[in-house]
Amino acid sequence: MRWGMVIDKLRCVQCYSCQVSCKQAYFLPPGIFFNRVATGETGQYPMVRKHTFPLLCNHCTDAPCVNVCPTGASYQREDGIVVIDSDKCVGCKYCIMACPYQQRTSFKYKEQYPGQGFNNYEKFGMEHHPYQEGTAVKCTFCMERVDDGLAEGLTPGEDRTATPVCVNACPAKARTFGDMDDPDSKIVRLIRERNAEQLRPDFDTDPSVYYIIS
């Protein structure tokens, strides 16, 4: 079993719901993202397009972040999800430097309304979902949802509570999550039939996130 995600760029309308839903679900302060939407332009007037790439941790099969971690805090589970154990992380930031996709951040609490204190939502997050400042953080493919779902007999990617928040949140249904080791899974079919591509395969890390480009 290896979890992966396909993002259909034809469906994506650059609404940022993935980015914002993820921030809300994980109580992420300003400046920290597990999901990001990168935008720009390609082409020249009038043969031009906006350029949109929803980005998240690629949960690479050969993950540079895991390879450089001196404490074993960054590790890869058997299901392919790359995880950071913040109790073991010493905040050396090697992984942040090593990630070619720039998907890791050193955590720091910040008020959503600068200078106005933490509100009840932020306080709830600090109490019930605390982060250790200075440690590296990133997307976990919502592994607790996946694990809890599997324990309840659900299928991640099909059953909502077992599926990553960003997949559920997308109003354009641009995201598909599933088991890339299952040849009959929707995700494998999409990769095969729609010629989905990994981002910057030249980095040679074999990402678990694919994009439908055309």
Q: Which residues bind other proteins (CB under 8 A)?
A: 8, 10-11, 13-17, 19-21, 23-27, 30-31, 36-41, 43-46, 48-50, 52, 84-87, 112-114, 116-117, 119-122, 124-125, 128-131, 137, 140, 142-145, 148, 160-161, 165, 168-174
Cβ 111 to other proteins, closest distance in Å?
A: 9
Instruction: Name, in order, each residue with C-beta under 8 angstroms of 151's C-beta and a sequence gap of 6 or more.
Output: none
Q: Is the Cβ of residue 1 or residue 48 nearer to other proteins in the bound state?
A: 48
Beta-ladder partners of 53: 38
Closest CA to 4 of 63, 54, 61: 61
Nearer to other proteins, 59 or 145 (CB): 145
Q: Distance between the two ends of the chain, CA-based, in angstroms? A: 28
Find the shortest distance in angstroms from Cβ 12 to other proteins.
8
Whether omega before 183 lies within 30 degrees of 0, making that bond cis, reads no
Q: Please report how close the Cβ of residue 210 comes to other proteins at its closest, in angstroms.
A: 16
Q: Which single residue is written with the structure tokens 């993002």?
A: 7
Q: Which is nearer to other proteins, 129 or 200 (CB)?
A: 129
Whole-angstrom distance, CA of residue 179 vs CA of residue 186: 9
